[in-house]
Amino acid sequence: MIGFNVPPYIGTEMKYIEEAVAKNHKICGDGPFTKRCNAWLEKKTGTAKALLTTSCTHATEMAALLADIKEGDEIIMPSYTFVSTADAFVLRGAVPVFVDIRPDTMNIDETKIEEAITEKTKAIVPVHYAGVSCEMDKIMELAEKYHLTVIEDAAQGIMSTYKGRALGTIGDYGCFSFHETKNYSMGEGGALLIRDPKNVERAEIIREKGTNRAKFFRGQIDKYTWVDAGSSYLPGDMNAAYLMAQLDAADVIFEDRMRSWNLYKELLTPLAEEEKVELPHIPEGCTHNAHMFYMKAKNLEERTKLIDYLKENGVQAVFHYIPLHTAPAGQRFGRFHGEDVYTTKESERLMRLPMYYGLKEEEVRYVASKIIEFYSR
């Protein structure tokens, strides 16, 4: 069986974890490995500040707190996304306002955002699906015009760029995920990227249960105290050690995934040229990180048959998000602005192929050959 995902494992992780436990004697949050991860992310992305968190969901919750999202505020986002994108704001009493996606990238359609903006709109949350950027220039222009906060759900977007800038660094806040299904992992984990230095201090306070503990440890104050509302959003240093091993090998993982991605693309292009399937589109000015290789069948029925056919042949291919506005909680908490032209239709056609660090060339060839076989029967 060629599984859909295998969590990344480089081989140096245990050594790093042992160092955290037996050498550093520091396994709670903000130990040496957490600091190294933060510094690595800052250097790699160019953001003012990166803070490791317990998940991307939590990084988004922090961003919602930092943006002072309140009951009744409206937050513009795509419906084709993971639940966390909406949850972080629903927890603050806000209303997710879903906008249709573009069929070519499955990202929010930037041309449909403006008409969804009301007096109550507070933020736009672009989701960079498959690690391919949304049209950020347009989104930032709207944010400026209407004084909105931009929180990038860059859960899948580490190592991707938009016009030379790292995803997660363009909006006010960016959120990465290091869940085991992502390119780089720590089991469960994430990071909050903060663009403006003026927002860093409050972020540190929110992450540390509302205390100014970070300032205390830097020796800037002589005792720490409770100064604001907050929670505990910092991961233990053992998890950070696992991640650091992978960040130190970031290019190795990146290139390995990219080889598989490019090979899928090459092998399936003839099917796309015959208009039997559609393959991912990378807009000009964007570089991606091979987070996901997806393809689109003609419709739901064909996709179901293809997934079954691959399963019979030992390949696990999977579909992805059920649009949030069609889910029970989405109906209760949010609303769809305008017409759902592509969100439902395209989500029903899309399927993801096995993609992980260490996927073998012959496995990619086998998966592609079975897809080609399916369409030639």
Ligand X SMILES: *Cc1c(COP(=O)(O)O)cnc(C)c1O
153 is a site residue for ligand X (CB under 6 A): yes
Is the CB of 126 or the CB of 230 nearer to ligand X?
126
Region binding ligand X by CB under 6 A among candidate stretches 36-44, 49-57, 117-125, 364-372: 49-57
Which tokens sit at 106? 């499955």
- As a whole number of angstroms, the distance between CA 270 and CA 94 comes to 46
167 is a site residue for ligand X (CB under 6 A): no
88: Cα separation from own chain's centroid = 14
Cα Rg, the chain, nearest whole Å: 21
- Cα–Cα distances in angstroms (integers) from residue 37 to residues 31, 175, 177, 247, 374, in the given order: 10, 14, 13, 8, 44
Is the CB of 264 or the CB of 321 nearer to ligand X?
321
Is the CB of 31 or the CB of 157 nearer to ligand X?
157
Closest CA relative to residue 77, chosen from 54, 93, 100: 100
311 is catalytic: no
370 is a site residue for ligand X (CB under 6 A): no
Strands 121-124 and 149-153: parallel
Task: Tell the smallest beta-carbon distance from residue 273 to ligand X (Å).
Answer: 30
246 is a site residue for ligand X (CB under 6 A): no
Task: Tell the smallest beta-carbon distance from residue 241 to ligand X (Å).
Answer: 18
Angle subtended by helix axes 250-273 and 361-376, to nearest 10: 20
81 is a site residue for ligand X (CB under 6 A): yes
Region binding ligand X by CB under 6 A among candidate stretches 113-121, 149-157, 277-285, 337-345: 149-157
Region binding ligand X by CB under 6 A among candidate stretches 41-49, 54-62, 302-310, 325-333: 54-62
CA angle 360, 153, 184 (to 5 degrees): 30
Question: Which amino acid, 300?
Answer: L
Cα dihedral across residues 219, 220, 225, 226: positive or negative: negative
Sheet holding 49-53, edge to edge: 49-53, 190-194, 173-177, 149-153, 121-124, 74-78, 95-99, 335-336
Residues binding ligand X: number (CB under 6 A): 14
156 is a site residue for ligand X (CB under 6 A): yes
Task: Tell the smallest beta-carbon distance from residue 60 to ligand X (Å).
Answer: 7
190 is a site residue for ligand X (CB under 6 A): yes
Task: Tell the smallest beta-carbon distance from residue 53 to ligand X (Å).
Answer: 8
DSSP 205-247: HHHBTTB-HHHHHTTSSSS--B-S---B---BHHHHHHHHHHH
Is the CB of 31 or the CB of 126 nearer to ligand X?
126
Binder among 102, 112, 122, 179 for ligand X (CB under 6 A): 179
85 is a site residue for ligand X (CB under 6 A): yes
Q: Which residues pair with 174 in a beta bridge?
A: 152, 193
In this structure, the chain runs to a length of 377
331: Cα separation from own chain's centroid = 23
155 is a site residue for ligand X (CB under 6 A): yes
Which tokens sit at 311? 């399963």
- As a whole number of angstroms, the distance between CA 50 and CA 197 comes to 11
Which tokens sit at 201? 């201090």
Which tokens sit at 17? 């974890």
84 is a site residue for ligand X (CB under 6 A): yes
Q: Which residue of the set 182, 276, 296, 370 is catalytic? A: 182
Binder among 56, 134, 205, 367 for ligand X (CB under 6 A): 56
288 is a site residue for ligand X (CB under 6 A): no
33 is a site residue for ligand X (CB under 6 A): no
Is the CB of 213 or the CB of 237 nearer to ligand X?
237
Is the CB of 221 or the CB of 329 nearer to ligand X?
329
348 is a site residue for ligand X (CB under 6 A): no
45 is a site residue for ligand X (CB under 6 A): no
Catalytic annotation, residues: 182
Please give the residue ranges that form the binding site for ligand X (CB under 6 A): 55-57, 81-82, 84-85, 127, 153, 155-156, 177, 179, 190
